[in-house]
Chains A and B, each alone.
Chain A
Amino acid sequence: MIYDFFELTTQAYTVALRDLKRFWQNIYWLAGQVAMNIADLLIFGLIFRGIVRPDLIPDYIRFITPGILCLSIFISSFTIGREVGVELRREVTHYLVSLPITRGALVAGRVLGGVLRGLMYQVGFLILAVLIMTPPTLDKWILILAASIFISVTMSSLSITLVTLTRDFNIQAAIRSLVYFVFFFMSNVFYPERALRARLGPVAPVALYSPVSMAVTIYRYGFGYSTEVDLVFNTAGLLLWSTATVLLAYKLYIRNLRR
């Protein structure tokens, strides 16, 4: 039993490492993404700082920084879905299932690959957040790390789940955008909950259950922007999201591998 678990972990780690290596190969894409994330933070944050209501958001750059942390995870972890999608279209999956590893290890490796991509990509933005916001204490760092792991597991699994729904390149790209719009616009990334309540009325609480809102709330607490947050609700919620999406990704990816 312990040997099997060790074997599965080793196999998954090998797959994840391959995915991580491929991530660094697209260096121009990475540079472009980093530039855009920083542009979002500086340009969007800087300009909006001058035009937002100070009674709602005193400093928009400090407000948006945790959202950019979440966005960085979304962008990097979701790339694993793009690769799985290309493999399905080009039927590279036949090669993958012929490898001397279990299918469970393969799926676990792909999810882990997405998680590692997300966490590594986020490091630079965490440093930026430390410079812009209040440096967290050790216990808050643990919370931030947990939130980053949960949100990257969720995004990585979700991206795998969604690309297995269709082999159409165009629809895969459209789904990716739709997920971004729904998760980020129906959340507290760009505006506080008060704005959502004012505009969406009874529907506004839906945003609280978004994994993006949960992660952003924890980041805001960790970096000292908010002091009173429901840590149990947000952490447990993220754990639930990541568990549910991993199970879904496993089921759908395995289904596709068997075709």
Chain B
Amino acid sequence: MSRLKTILLVATWDLMKLRNQKVFVAMRLAWFTVQVLVFARAISYIVTRTVENYTGGVEYYYFYILGVYTTLLYSTSIARGYMVAEEFDDGIVEYHLSLPVKRSTLAIGRVLGGGVSTLIFTLPMMIIVYTVLRVRDPVIVAISLASALVFSAGVVSLVILLVFTIKSTDLTDIIVGAIDALLVRLSTVFYPLPVIASTGIAPYYVAATLNPISHMSDFLRILVFPEYYLVAPYGPLASILYLVGFSMGLLLLAIEFYEKKLETGGWR
């Protein structure tokens, strides 16, 4: 079997698991709807119009819901960590490693499968956001999907590395939850970078600038609202290069880990 076929086979295995996640998708869709229709609308009501000076004239509600979509993309990718932890619990990781498949192929297949699963999983939410924003241009939709795949592949690689290093269900729940919450807070999901800069907290500003969530959400904002480019501290090219670098770097690390360090057993 060619290597590409094997990668697709491993990725398809991940995708097949989506069938058992209908309840999970429904719940995520429910809370996303609450976030977009209740929280985002109410919070945009209390925000002054002067904030539009920092968003290039983009209404805060629109600014925020693209951030929320990015958060969801991120959280769903992070949730793969819980799945891998369960696989360890059930002995599936041992089964995977015993297959006549190269470890690097296995790593690429898992990351690709995780990324595509995330994309499919979050598709209903993307439809909601793009409907609210009245985005009809197929090119914008296609670029959004491609960038979302790159971003989620990077986050899935990160979480696979974490879970395999931690090797504990409880610690996975704690650490993955903490990273999830922390990175979202230190990003431009809620507020534009110039507003963060105006607080004078330099480490927060630096963290937000380096945060992949900031780059993903700002890239989508520039894509949908080109006027946001006027106030964004980095352009779309810089963001997409950053995201590709982030994902490729972590994928390489995941492959390296699978090939040289991953051992079964010792799961707590």
Range, interface on chain A? 35 or more
Q: Tell me, yes or no, whether A174 is within 8 Å of chain B by CB.
A: yes
A47-B195, A51-B48, A51-B195 known; A190-B39 Cβ under 8 A = yes
Q: In the docked arrangement, what's the CA distance between A82 and B171, Å? A: 12
Q: Tell me, yes or no, whether B140 is within 8 Å of chain A by CB.
A: no
Q: CB-CB contacts of A10-53 with B at 8 A, as 1s and 0s?
A: 00000000000000001011001100100110011011101111
Q: Tell me, yes or no, whether A192 is within 8 Å of chain B by CB.
A: yes
Contact partners of B185 in chain A: CB under 8 A: 36, 39-40, 43-44
| Cβ A185 vs Cβ B45 within 8 A | no
| Cβ A171 vs Cβ B23 within 8 A | yes
| Cβ B169 vs Cβ A170 within 8 A | no
Looking at the complex, which one of B169, B170, B181, B190 makes contact with A44 (CB distance below 8 Å)?
A: B190
| Cβ B24 vs Cβ A199 within 8 A | no
Contact partners of A40 in chain B: CB under 8 A: 185
| Cβ A195 vs Cβ B79 within 8 A | no
Contact partners of B177 in chain A: CB under 8 A: 173
Q: Which of A33, A82, A185 has the most CB of B within 10 A?
A: A185
Q: In the docked arrangement, what's the CA distance between A199 and B196, Å? A: 26
A171-B27, A178-B30 known; A200-B38 Cβ under 8 A = yes
Q: In the docked arrangement, what's the CA distance between A228 and B13, Å? A: 59
Q: CB-CB contacts of A146-182 with B at 8 A, as 1s and 0s?
A: 0000000000000000000000011101110110011
Which residue of B has the minimal Cβ distance to A31?
Answer: B178
Q: Tell me, yes or no, whether B50 is within 8 Å of chain A by CB.
A: yes
Q: Which of B81-89, B104-112, B224-232, B236-244 contacts A (4 or more CB under 8 A)?
A: B81-89
Q: Tell me, yes or no, whether B263 is within 8 Å of chain A by CB.
A: no
Q: Tell me, yes or no, whether B257 is within 8 Å of chain A by CB.
A: no
Q: In the docked arrangement, what's the CA distance between A174 and B86, Å? A: 15
Contact partners of A48 in chain B: CB under 8 A: 47, 191
Q: In the docked arrangement, what's the CA distance between A63 and B31, Å? A: 24
Contact partners of B182 in chain A: CB under 8 A: 32, 36
Contact partners of A169 in chain B: CB under 8 A: 82, 85-86, 169, 173
| Cβ A191 vs Cβ B45 within 8 A | yes
A170-B24, A173-B82 known; A52-B38 Cβ under 8 A = no
Q: Tell me, yes or no, whether A143 is within 8 Å of chain B by CB.
A: no
Which residue of B has the minimal Cβ distance to A60?
Answer: B46
Q: Tell me, yes or no, whether A198 is within 8 Å of chain B by CB.
A: yes
Task: Count B-side interface residues using an 8 Å CB cutoff.
Answer: 42
| Cβ B47 vs Cβ A181 within 8 A | no
Q: In the docked arrangement, what's the CA distance between A28 and B221, Å? A: 36
Describe A's contact surface by its main secondary structure: helix
Contact partners of A36 in chain B: CB under 8 A: 178, 181-182, 185
Contact partners of A173 in chain B: CB under 8 A: 79, 82, 173, 177
Q: In the docked arrangement, what's the CA distance between A157 and B48, Å? A: 39
Which residue of B has the minimal Cβ distance to A46?
Answer: B199
The distance from the CB of A169 to the nearest CB of chain B, in whole angstroms, is 6
A171-B24, A190-B43 known; A50-B198 Cβ under 8 A = yes
Chain B residues near A (Cβ < 8 Å):
21, 23-24, 27-28, 30-31, 34-35, 38-39, 41-43, 45-48, 50-51, 79, 82-83, 85-86, 169-170, 173-174, 177-178, 181-182, 185, 190-191, 195-196, 198-199, 201, 204
Chain A residues near B (Cβ < 8 Å):
26, 28-29, 32-33, 36, 39-40, 43-44, 46-48, 50-53, 56-57, 82, 86, 169-171, 173-175, 177-178, 181-182, 185-186, 190-192, 195-196, 198-200
CB<8 Å pairs between A and B, sample of 28: A32-B174, A36-B178, A43-B185, A43-B201, A48-B47, A48-B191, A51-B47, A51-B50, A51-B51, A56-B46, A82-B173, A86-B169, A170-B24, A170-B83, A171-B23, A173-B79, A174-B24, A174-B27, A174-B28, A185-B34, A185-B35, A186-B34, A190-B43, A191-B43, A191-B46, A198-B42, A198-B45, A200-B38
